[in-house]
Amino acid sequence: MSRRLVRGTAAAVLVAGLAACGGDGGQGSGAAERTLTFWMYQDRTPQAGQVIEKVRQDFEQANPGVAVKIVKIPKDDYNTKLGSAVAGASAPDAGILDQPLVSKYALDGTIKEVPAGLIDEAGFYKGALDTNRAGGKLFGLPQDQTTVALFYNRKLVPAPPKTWDELKQVAARVHAADANVAGMNVPKGDGYGAWMFPGVVHGAGGQMVDDAGKKVLFDQPPAVEALQLWVDLLKSSPRQITDSDKPFENGLAAMTITGPYDVPTIREQFPDLDFGVAPLPYKTEPAGNIGGENSVVFSTSENADLAWKWLAFMNNAANNGPVADALGGFPVNLKAQVVAGGPEQAAFLEQLKVAHARPAVPQWIQVNDEIIAPALESALVGKATAQQALTDAAARTRSLLGWNS
């Protein structure tokens, strides 16, 4: 749902097939004493594959007698194949796992808890690390991360707004100057908009749920104020304008919220658009959302000690930058270097410092897509007030989760 760069859709392959690197997937001339199997998404690019292959080779060189067999699966098929492998007791030793699935797999007993002392938790972005927590325990390592920020057309918005009030003022000024231009491409009530929404809620000092206390909180004032912000912005940002094709890119919306994955496309397809990227405006405190992948060790692994060693190796200061870039995101290790990016990356990195993990609730994807998304849309199209929409959504969520408050 974070809409990172689209992966390929070829059949699953092994790193052994990376002819550009001459890799052998761990099946070298010497017999390995132990073989570790790691599942991940298929390479976005040949260069990404070369990065992963080099990390594999470096790990094997540092650990004689060990072979790492990397199986790469198209992202669209990954969760289904992984689920089948888990159900059939044939899961790999370790693998990539989308952030919202960590809590489900952790509470199901499918993945192992991170061994004490494996990493220095202070050396990682808090939001990224928190995406691996369930029941207060750590069940995986963040692998890469992404987030969204405010894109603004410099011709229409010389200086980006920093607060909600400034955002509304700027949007109103743009639309007043030209009725054919929207101040803001306001997010919609769909899965993507619902994924972004918690970052706005946290910007008002709120949170979506208290998972430890089993309390739903997105019917409380901070969340209601966040949704009301989007409703208010529609006054200067009519959907008659923003429902057009690529309204921000075509100069019909002065601002939009999206992620780093859209920067290359805009640069390539709209070279004349002079735009900037800034952290999200907030009400009481800087905040944002987070997406990306984690890496976990499966409970059926007979090589758990080696698997954790491999995951920590991919996440060390030297490797995490290239690996995260290969996966299409930013590094999670605070000492890792960002491999690529233009001037826009500064805003995203600032945003990641204040990013909040999604609730550690196994059913969160369902809550996001089937309950919160339509509630947002209900308020945005005027079928309900922000309070009514979120009150109803919160009641449905409590019923789904079996929570009393």
pLDDT in tens, the chain (405 residues): 443 333 333 333 333 333 333 333 444 435 679 999 999 999 999 999 999 999 999 999 999 999 999 999 999 999 999 999 999 999 999 999 999 999 999 999 999 999 999 999 999 999 999 999 999 999 999 999 999 999 999 999 999 999 999 999 999 999 999 999 999 999 999 999 999 999 999 999 999 999 999 999 999 999 999 999 999 999 999 999 999 999 999 999 999 999 999 999 999 999 999 999 999 999 999 999 999 999 999 999 999 999 999 999 999 999 999 999 999 999 999 999 998 778 889 999 999 999 999 999 999 999 999 999 999 999 999 999 999 999 999 999 999 999 998
Note whether 382 and 246 are same-domain residues: yes
**What predicted TM-score, i.e. pTM, was given to this entire model?**
0.89
Whether residue 355 contacts residue 77, with contact meaning beta carbons closer than 8 Å, is answered with no
Nearest to 167 by CA among 177, 176, 157: 157
Query: Is residue 5 in a domain?
Result: no
| 116 and 100 inside one domain | yes
Whether 173 maps to a domain, the answer reads yes
Residue 6: inside a domain, yes or no?
Answer: no
Residues 221 and 368 reside in one and the same domain: yes
CATH number (domain holding residue 45) = 3.40.190.10
296 shares a domain with 246 = no
133 and 161 belong to one structural domain = no
CA dist 328 and 322 (Å) reads 10
Whole-angstrom CA distances from 29 to 3, 24, 25, 32 are 41, 9, 12, 9
238 within domain boundaries: yes
Residue with tokens 């919202």: 100
- Identify whether 182 is part of a domain: yes
Question: Residue 340: what pLDDT?
Answer: 72
Same domain, 385 and 269: yes
Note the pLDDT tens digit of each residue in 298-342: 999 999 999 999 999 999 999 999 999 999 999 999 999 998 778
Note whether 255 and 157 are within 8 A (CB). yes
372: exposed, middle or buried (C-beta count within 10 Å: 0-12, 13-18, 19+)? buried
226/109 same-domain check: no
Domain count of the fold of the chain: 2
- Does 33 share its domain with 110? yes
* Pair (341, 372) in one structural domain: no
Per-residue confidence (pLDDT) for residue 1, from 0 to 100: 45
Say what the pLDDT of residue 176 is. Answer: 98
Q: How far apart are CA 393 and CA 378, in angstroms?
A: 11
Is position 8 within any domain? no
pLDDT at 72: 98
Asked whether residue 7 is assigned to any structural domain, the reply reads no
Please tell me whether residues 195 and 300 are part of one structural domain.
no
| Residue 268 maps to a domain | yes
- Do residues 106 and 161 both lie within one domain? no
Distances (CA, A) of 103 to 26, 88, 113, 143, 308: 31, 20, 11, 16, 18
Domain that holds residue 313: 13-146+290-353
Which residue in the block uniquely carries the two structure tokens 């405190």?
Answer: 285
Same structural domain, 283 and 302: no
As a whole number of angstroms, the distance between CA 46 and CA 53 comes to 11
